[in-house]
Amino acid sequence: MILSPEVTDAFRGRRVLVTGGLGFIGSNLAWLLREAGAELTLVDSLVPTHGGNHANVDGLEGVQVELFDVRDTERLAPLVRRAELLFSLAGQTSHIDSMREPLLDLEHNCGAQLAVLENCRRENPGIRVVFAGTRQVYGRPRELPVNESHPLDPVDVNGIHKLAGEWYHLLYARVYGLSVSVLRLTNTYGPRMRVRDSRQTFLGTWIRQVLTGEELRVFGDGTQQRDFTFVDDAVEALCLAAVRDEAVGEIFNVGGNDHLSLLELAELLVRSAGTGSYRVVPFPPERRAIDIGDYLADDSKLRGRLGWQPRVDLEEGLVRTLDYYRVHGGAYWGP
């Protein structure tokens, strides 16, 4: 991925801390930041059901990696103290897991964010913070596309806790003067995503299944509309939010150029892979209860304010993702 010279220059020599740094988005961000010349520290607790994976940073040199839970203030405080920029990406993403173990989700998505913010407040109130939120905070859309003023009505515990995480950041900005930005991501996909199961995204499971000869399952009638963001484009949005003054105190939707039904996505994936098959099956009851139906992001605010523009269309992104897992798949779903 190639960033604009403006953004690259903004990171050269800067001290950057990434929580969730061995995860999907965090690791892709780490590769880009090192290429830009940042002095980089990654923190990850490697919770087995989350997205962290040592394979995500194999070959990435000159990076400090710390393995601990961000609620461990004794270890986090000195890292926050010396950082100039913080990308807050640690958290639990599984909607189903959040319903099965809501108190655990509370710890990972609320307790963890408060711990990070408290360290910022006490140790380094001048730090710049970018928080990775989710479109799940909107719940079932009342109109499409969904902009940032859409009512907030999460349909699951994870969405409620991620919304709380946003509000913690905005509260600390208002009360304590922290410089924060929030990006609401939607269906981010690409190399280094979790594909062992659907805890991160259903598309990860589909990627593995199409490459290992398993049949894809499309829940419902397959007409649900979605949009998708290739990870390089999501990372560029995060970087722009970290360096542009216009982003401070703001919430931005991150979307993409392509939207299609899940059935159309399955067809495109099978065609792109040159192998595989799919079938439409009824929704499992626990998934039906928290399904949001159609979702399309209105990301015109991000495009207009920060000059962001997605560069990778869905077909190209799927091909690049499939190519990555053809080579590295064993590190993600086993030998």
Alpha-carbon torsion 272, 274, 280, 284, what sign?
Answer: negative
Output the pLDDT for position 94: 84
At 113-150, the pLDDT tens digits run: 999 999 999 999 999 999 999 999 999 999 999 999 99
Q: Which residues, in sequence order, are bridge partners of residue 41? A: 17, 64
DSSP state string for 106-168? HIIIIIHHHHHHHHHHHH-TT-EEEEEEEGGGG-S-SSSSB-TTSPP--SSHHHHHHHHHHHH
Report whether 151 contacts 138 (CB < 8 A). yes
Does the pLDDT of residue 335 top 70, yes or no? no
Report whether 233 contacts 311 (CB < 8 A). yes
Question: Rounded to an integer, what distance in angstroms lies between the CA atom of residue 150 and that of residue 255?
Answer: 15
Question: Rounded to an integer, what distance in angstroms lies between the CA atom of residue 144 and that of residue 161?
Answer: 24
Within 10 angstroms of residue 61's Cβ, the number of other Cβ atoms is 6
Mean pLDDT to the nearest integer, 224-247 = 96
- Residue with token string 């495009």: 303
| pLDDT classification of 1: cutoffs 50, 70, 90 | low
Output the pLDDT for position 41: 98
Cα torsion 246, 135, 325, 191 to 10°: value is 10
At 207-229, the pLDDT tens digits run: 999 999 999 999 989 999 999 99
Output the pLDDT for position 242: 97
Question: Rounded to an integer, what distance in angstroms lies between the CA atom of residue 251 and that of residue 206?
Answer: 30
Residue ranges per structural domain of the chain: 5-191+229-256+297-311
Question: Rounded to an integer, what distance in angstroms lies between the CA atom of residue 108 and that of residue 94?
Answer: 11
Determine the topology of domain 5-191+229-256+297-311 in CATH.
Rossmann fold (3.40.50)
Question: Rounded to an integer, what distance in angstroms lies between the CA atom of residue 91 and that of residue 51?
Answer: 9
- Residue with token string 């994870």: 158
At 31-77, the pLDDT tens digits run: 999 999 999 999 999 988 888 899 999 999 999 999 999 999 999 99
Average pLDDT, the chain: 94
Return all residues near 60 (Cβ < 8 A) that are at least 6 apart: 27, 30, 31, 34
Residue with the larger pLDDT of the pair 197 and 212: 212
Residues in the chain: 335
Question: Rounded to an integer, what distance in angstroms lies between the CA atom of residue 309 and that of residue 53?
Answer: 29
Output the pLDDT for position 334: 66
Question: Rounded to an integer, what distance in angstroms lies between the CA atom of residue 159 and that of residue 78?
Answer: 31
| pLDDT classification of 2: cutoffs 50, 70, 90 | low
| pLDDT classification of 313: cutoffs 50, 70, 90 | very high
